[in-house]
Structure formats: C-alpha cells, structure tokens
A and B are shown apart, each in its own frame.
Chain A
Amino acid sequence: MRWPLIRYIPRSTHFRFVRWAPVAAVISAILIVASIGLLVFQGLNLGIDFKGGIALEITMSRPVPQTEMGAVLDQIGAHDGQVQGFGSPNAALVKFLPSKDEAPSVASKRVEAELIKRFPDLKVTSRSEVGAKVSGELLMSGFKALGVALLLTLGYIWFRFGLSYGTGAVVAVIHDIVLTLGLLSVCGIEFSMTEIAALLTVIGYSMNEKVITFDRLKENLRKYRTTPLRDIIDLSENERLSRTIITGTTALLALGGTMAFGGPVLFPLVFTMIFGIIIGTYSSIYIALPMILIWGVKRNDEEATPIKLGAASRP
C-alpha cells in the first residue's frame, strides 16, 4: 500500500482528449436538442415561487393517502390540486390555486380546515401563499440574475484570457445550463428560487473549471511555442487530470452527504449541484477546449503576427 493515495494516480497520462471531441460534440448536440425539446413541450415544473398559489406542507401520524387526499382537494374546490411526497411517507406537500373570487389567505385557511376535518391527524407545518404578481416578477428577476452573472463572468474571462477563451466558456456554460434545465424538466423537479441559486452555483463551478483549465493552457502555450494547439490542449488536460479527479471527488463527497441526509428541502438543490459538477467538468474538456481549437488563439502576445494554426489542426 503506497500512502498517500495520490501516488496511485498516474503522474503523466497521455489521453488523447481532443480526438474524442467530435464524438462528444455529437452527444452534446443530441442532448441539447433533447433538452430544448423537453423545455418547449414539457416545460419546467414551476413551483409556487414562480407560478403563484398556495403550498401547505403537512405531516400525518400515518402514511399520507395521496390519491384520497387529491380527490378531497377536488371536492372542496382547491383548483389544480396536487399532493406530492415530501421526504418521509408521513409527510406531503399539498399545492393548489385559489379560485379567482377567493383571497389566497382565505382559501388556504378554508382548505386547511376542510383537510383537518377529513384527516383529523393532519398537521400543517408550513404554509406559503404567493400572489401571481410577485411570482411573475420573481421569475423575471431570477433569470435576470442568471443572465447578468453569466455576462459578468464571461467579461472577466475575456479580459483575463482573450476572446476565444471567452467564447469557449460561453458556449460551454450555456451548454451546461440548457442540459441542467433539461434534467430538471425530465425529472419534474420543482423549479423555485432555490433552483435559481443552484443554477448560479452550477455556473460558478463550471466557470471555475474553465478558468483553471485555461490558466494551464495559457501557460503551456507560452512554454511550447511551436507545438500544435491540439497537442497542447491534450497536454494541459492531462496535467490537470489529477486535480480534476480530486477536486471533483471532494465536491461530490461533500454534496453526496447532504443529498443523503439533508432532507427533502435540500434534495433538489443538491441534486442539481451534483449534476452541475459532473456536466461542468465534462464541458470544460469537451466543449470549451475544442471551441478554442476551432476558433484558434494568438500564440504569443509579444509577436505581432500570430502563428497560423491552419486547417490541419482542426478536428
């Protein structure tokens, strides 16, 4: 047993990452199209943060009879009623919309009373009523936050590394966001303010990966002035491999603990973050770097004429 375990990770690997880029591009393209299709045809499961309505978190002393409760909601005029499992079988999330002529607070009290009448052991542990006006604004401000965060970090990368890096990062991060939204859509995870936070974290982690990879790439471009770009990309990626494995594993371990023990409130948030870490690592290697390869980079800032990479170095 060699200890510390870092010695097990090979010191110099020679994976030909770039060679698989065309395959990755096809896979990514398919996934992107599928995600967009899902978003268009199925859409996101907007939570009451963004849709407005009433949500009651309930607990019972026995497993919640979900179908029975759903039927009761229909009878007592709770529109669009939904009963979702929430963590333990004895807990559930009851969501519905108030009718137009009933104030949300009145509707929520009335439905609560009706439910308790029919299920005497039911207890409401949390209650949310969101007006349609606020919810619309929250959705707008959420996406605005996403947009501004994206633009600013891109501006930073452009300023720090250059336009081609910036473009590579944009495409890769948009790829990550679209796939994450696609995942949320396919799993029917409720899209709430917290999910916006998760998406921003996904952007943050993904950018972090890109910046660290670009940093090494830029350094190697200065070190090996005549080596073809695709080889330098492979080299930089191989040099970064042990770091990527270790950091990715630590992040996944930390979040894995939270996913298992954090309860139903944290689950969607952490689930999104974990997916984001995986997809962010993938897109650094297979989207951001190949984009730079296609776009080309200035090899040397001191020389006025950049070395022509030519078509030969393209995949």
Chain B
Amino acid sequence: MKKVINQPEDVLNDMLDGLSFAYADIVERVPETDVVVKVDKEDGKVGLVSGGGSGHEPSHAGFVGRGMLSAAVCGEVFTSPTPDQVLEGIKAADSGKGVFLVIKNYSGDVMNFEMAKDLAEMEDIPVEMVIVDDDIAVEDSTYTAGRRGVAGTILVHKILGHAAEKGQSLEEIKALADALVPNIKTLGVALTGATTPAVGHPGFVLEEDEIEFGVGIHGEPGYRKEKLQPSKELAKEIVGRLKKEFKWEKGEHFGIMVNGLGATPLMEQFIFTNDVKEILESEGLVIDFKKVGDIMTAIDMAGLSLTMIRLNKEYEEALKASVNTIAW
C-alpha cells in the first residue's frame, strides 16, 4: 500500500481537519465530532443532512454549503457513522424547521441514521428521511437488502438542497424526495479494486486485462467480469442496462452524470462521456444537464459510473441553480 497517510486510524480525523482548514470560507468542523457543517447558517429553512462512510470524497462533505447540504456526517472509511454522530449533524443543521436526512441504501447507514432520527425526535427535532437506491447493478428483489445507493445520491442533494433553499417545508421536501428517487439510476464499471488504509491491500483483484460491471462503491462484487474493451463498448453495456430500467421513449429529457471512482483520469471520463453522448443522441433523447468528474469515489478504485435522471422542469432548474460548495 502506497498512500500519503500517517496512521490508518487517524485518516478520518486528519482529513477532516485538512478539509475544514482549506475551505474555511464554506464549511467548518463541529468541534469534537466528525460533522462538517456549512458556515453561512440560514435560519428558518429545513436542514439537509447526509453522510456515510468516508472514502467517497468529495462526497459528502464536498457538497455542504449554500444550496446543497447543511451538514455531512463522516464515518470511518467505508463505515457508516454512528447514531451519536448523526445526531450531532442533525443538531448542527436544525434551524427550527426540521431536518431532512438523505441516506444511501446500506444496512449500516439505514440502521444508524434511523437510530439517530429516534434520538432527534426525543429532543423535539422533527426529522424526515429518504433512502436512495439508484444502483441498478443489483437485482431488486425481496431476497436482498434492496439496491445500493451510489453517485445518484448527489443529484438528490442538489435537487432537495434547492427546495430547502427556496424555503420549502419538511413535508414538501419529503414528497419531492419520494417522487425524485425512482427517476435516478446509476451503473458503474471497475478496472481495479480499492485499498482501504486499515486493510492495506485491495478488497478484490482484477487481472491486468479484466474489468467488472456493477461493482459497488465499497468494492462489492458486480454482475459480470469481462476482458478489457474500448470505452464505446463500456458505454454500450451501461447505457443499454439503464435503458432497460428507464424504458425511455424518443424525445424524452434526461440529465447525465459521469462519475470517476477515484483513480480514473478526467481524460478517460471525457472520452467515456463522448461515447455516452453518441449513444443517447442515437436513442433520440434530449440531454439538458451534464456533469463529469469525481463526485462519489471509492478511494483509489479505477473505473467510473454513469448516472441518468429523467428530467422535468423542476428538477432541471434545481440542478442548474448556483450553489456555494467545495465540489459541485
């Protein structure tokens, strides 16, 4: 393992101190916690809180700021934050109108955030939540814990953040979130595994000429390994699967987000984006929103994911609104 770290057990603390020092004009770290909160607190608006394990930088702390998250709760690497920490995040985000939680669908995250929601309600803070499950790699069945939440979660931050910014109520944001999540779907491909600092070797190994479709952002196994192939072929497989899910018609409006998993250069992300564009144009879709970059990474995994969102005017306006965060 070659990493610029000190002690593996200090990774989270050292990173949060560095981040809050570098971007002190946008965020601050709540003392004695692993919570990052926006500096310009606005009273009278619903607080928006997300979080999860670390290792997905810039998610989630990079999306804290005006127009997006009020606070992000950062767990240990690939490990859900604990209920007491989530409660601190809720308190930091609360300005009297209640707090809305955006949770990625993992058993740990759901349990810890639900426990925190109970604790907050005991302190008379109204809390609502939505669970994001945008990863279509996993079959959605009663025999799994459902689908995983991945990069699409950030589009949820953006759209709900805009609603909170405009002064929508907790109930309105809950309704918006419930309607929004089914319109966002993601699928990824991995070229390598990821190495967590505490373990020191990759969670899985792909051969030099091998790729895997559907790998999760913690290195969870995907649905198929194949020989390395050109970007165009990757785009064909990924868009093809998304099409099956969305069942889109010619002329529909969509947004796309190409997300690097941590070790894939922007050069490759743009090449892939270009291939996606060509396929979507041939499908007759109208692409009103695009974003490319490292949004939700898996530490040092090479690979990328494609998120698509079926747009309406409200979502489009929210996605295009300006915000003040580290990473949007």
Partners in one complex: no
* Chain B interface (Cβ < 8 Å from any Cβ of A): none
* Chain A interface (Cβ < 8 Å from any Cβ of B): none
